Structure 1
């Protein structure tokens, strides 16, 4: 079994960064859902003999020789990497893989198109995806994909070594998983968590309805931009604006302190475990609720969310079919977790068989390795949730201001140094001209 594992992840599960550091360094990789599946993959692979190193998302072909020397395998957990907006990142990753001599294992990649699987929309990325898959399969037995949409797409490109394995996030607890409703019906006084993809404008009516009806509702954003809004207010180009989607500080969710964001999965799951229900458009918002023991429901708005919901049996509706007056109580009532619960062990067996085929062990079959991982999580102190400015302690706000002041001073010093260097260069050029003319005489 491979022991020296390089894992594509923005950060490791025990790397701790403050919310301010997280925003400055983008340690969530644009979306904190990335941490859920990468940390789950880390736990899955964390056997007693494994040495796992996070890649920090670095994909530089010039690193190939070092990677070949230091690691036995490169494991790549991916989300919706087969999409138009990711093609510019897929290309350097492909060039790196082409230079590797060690095995490469892709763990749960997905394609992104509409819910109907529009093939024409994907044409512009066919070449990039083909190059990536060819490079991987030269170093791997097969490619692990999230669901049937991605498998079908890769087969149209001519690849047959494709296996549906879902996403590592759903296997955070191994084959031990079960969701049960804790009450017969949801009431307006219950705790409800809402997730929203800010670009899904059709959520506006649903947001308004639930804000009015559920006083204990909380909005749990996942994107880097909203983290910045929570920490520092609206970005300059967005100040003074308003929207029915909670993307500005003027939204009632911000004004009424109903927004909570997390920069680590563990605090996020702990918080969600106290809720009665969670729903919305974010697939990993829903999955994080489920693995926290909280019933979740997904509004699938594209192929990547839909295929995962279908693969795992997650209760869902297609977003375009969701009426604006839908109520969480109705979703709670119709949510059926039978397929999710009863099929989990078989899906876990499919995943572990995939790992075994690629010479990777897993912590749940390695004594108490999974338990030791969980213990280390409990012993690590992670930053608390981030709330709107109105609910933030003055001391924390002061520290945030001081950090910005220090960063500004450092930037000014760097700018002054660059200006001085440029001035010296101009002086040199100005002096060289007359000197050269004198030397020619």
Structure 2
């Protein structure tokens, strides 16, 4: 496997490894580990007789000749995220897989853009990597129609819309989501925030919305599950306060200087980050509700049986939610009508999701297994 690594539960001496190293292993976003975990889980679930399954980090790929691995493996599987970004150069991966001559199976590949109206200018080496996968496999698994159309315009038409592999971890269990009867039944909730990018119009729109979300969290004692924002991630990992990082959080959210003590207490008690599958899932199982800007933060809630609502703020979120029939709330709608827990809760309609979930799981399994039979 290449791309997103699985969770760090199996990492040697993980509890002794400092935060800075763990966040780097996660690709600076713990949600990436969820993707890798899902792909690994599906491989072992669908092919229990696998005799050798290893993960190659980007550093490993840079230091290894693809030619040197061709006798040890039958396939290369890339667990992907929103890797089709303008200017991103995956030439070193392309060189590696081409030298190996092995089939490249890509699943969960997504394009990153502000909206479906915006073009995505891909580096030629990245296009060549995807073309190699299309030529050596049964098709490239993409997140949604936006990504499929982008690749088709580049001449890569051998794509299959699969959504994200994280969505299918409850396949075959009769899984369905039950929503609380009323917003008054929400006693525990997990919120996800995004403030690590400031280049889209939606990023500016999110700031006042997330400011209100934090105040709601402080008032109700809801949890803040960090994934990538460094100050919050450091705080959630150490469960301690660094005054400079607390000031960084307060500045973004416009938290009153005279009320910093309350923010400090909240941060200690409610900000968390997880690099282990079992710990993150167990936390979400205790929640009544989840919502916010992080796709995989909400997905972890949903997989744990907790109803979640996704904020749509770019193409990657939009196409994934459309494919999976997940409940969404548009950032523009909150900007126009205002944010409230009630407005979020009223979007938590899982009727279509529950009716189609097993079909989507079956479609994913059919696509994934077709590469190896």
Residue 322 of structure 1 aligns to a residue whose secondary structure is helix
Alignment match, 1:222: 227
Structure 1 gaps of 5+ residues are 1-5, 361-441
- Which of 134, 138, 142 in structure 2 is aligned with 1:137? 134
The CA deviation string for residues 258-285 of structure 1, in whole angstroms up to 9 with x for no partner, is 2111112321111111111110010001
Over 3 Å counting, the alpha-carbon distance change for 1:141 and 1:188 in structure 2 is closer
- Structure 2: distance between partners of 1:325 and 1:254: 27
Report the alpha carbon displacement of residue 9 of structure 1 after superposing the two structures with TM: 3.8
Determine if the alignment matches structure 1 residue 275 to structure 2 residue 287: yes
Cα RMSD over matched residues?
2.7
- Structure 2: distance between partners of 1:216 and 1:189: 11
What TM-score, normalized to structure 1? 0.72
- Structure 2: distance between partners of 1:39 and 1:313: 22
- Structure 1: distance between partners of 2:4 and 2:211: 36
The CA deviation string for residues 288-316 of structure 1, in whole angstroms up to 9 with x for no partner, is 11001000001111101110011001111
Determine if the alignment matches structure 1 residue 10 to structure 2 residue 5: yes
Instruction: Indicate if the aligned counterparts of 1:9 and 1:38 stay in contact, CA closer than 8 A.
Output: yes
Report the alpha carbon displacement of residue 28 of structure 1 after superposing the two structures with TM: 1.6
Residue 69 of structure 1 aligns to a residue whose secondary structure is coil
What TM-score, normalized to structure 2? 0.84
The CA deviation string for residues 94-123 of structure 1, in whole angstroms up to 9 with x for no partner, is 11111122111001100000123412xx12
Alignment of 1:9-408 (within 5 A): 9-11=4-6, 14-16=9-11, 17-18=14-15, 20-25=17-22, 26-46=24-44, 47-50=47-50, 51-57=52-58, 58-60=60-62, 62-84=64-86, 87-88=88-89, 90-119=90-119, 122-123=120-121, 125-176=122-173, 177-181=175-179, 183-187=180-184, 190-198=187-195, 199=197, 200-213=203-216, 214-223=219-228, 225=230, 226-230=232-236, 231=238, 241=248, 242-245=250-253, 253-256=263-266, 257-323=269-335, 325-359=338-372
Report the alpha carbon displacement of residue 61 of structure 1 after superposing the two structures with TM: 7.0
The CA deviation string for residues 67-112 of structure 1, in whole angstroms up to 9 with x for no partner, is 2121111000100000136x13x22111111112211100110000
Q: Quick check: 267-276 or 224-233, which moved more?
A: 224-233
Instruction: Indicate if the aligned counterparts of 2:329 and 2:344 stay in contact, CA closer than 8 A.
Output: no
- Structure 2: distance between partners of 1:13 and 1:315: 30
Over 3 Å counting, the alpha-carbon distance change for 1:291 and 1:251 in structure 2 is farther
Over 3 Å counting, the alpha-carbon distance change for 1:38 and 1:133 in structure 2 is same
Over 3 Å counting, the alpha-carbon distance change for 1:188 and 1:349 in structure 2 is closer
Residue 109 of structure 1 aligns to a residue whose secondary structure is coil
Residue 314 of structure 1 aligns to a residue whose secondary structure is coil
Report the alpha carbon displacement of residue 329 of structure 1 after superposing the two structures with TM: 2.5
Over 3 Å counting, the alpha-carbon distance change for 1:279 and 1:339 in structure 2 is same
Instruction: Indicate if the aligned counterparts of 1:108 and 1:167 stay in contact, CA closer than 8 A.
Output: yes
The CA deviation string for residues 8-66 of structure 1, in whole angstroms up to 9 with x for no partner, is 44346641423853522522221111111111111111132113212234322743123
Structure 2 gaps of 5+ residues are 198-202
- Structure 2: distance between partners of 1:78 and 1:254: 36
Residue 219 of structure 1 aligns to a residue whose secondary structure is strand
Q: Quick check: 313-322 or 285-294, which moved more?
A: 313-322
Over 3 Å counting, the alpha-carbon distance change for 1:160 and 1:346 in structure 2 is same
Instruction: Indicate if the aligned counterparts of 1:210 and 1:217 stay in contact, CA closer than 8 A.
Output: no
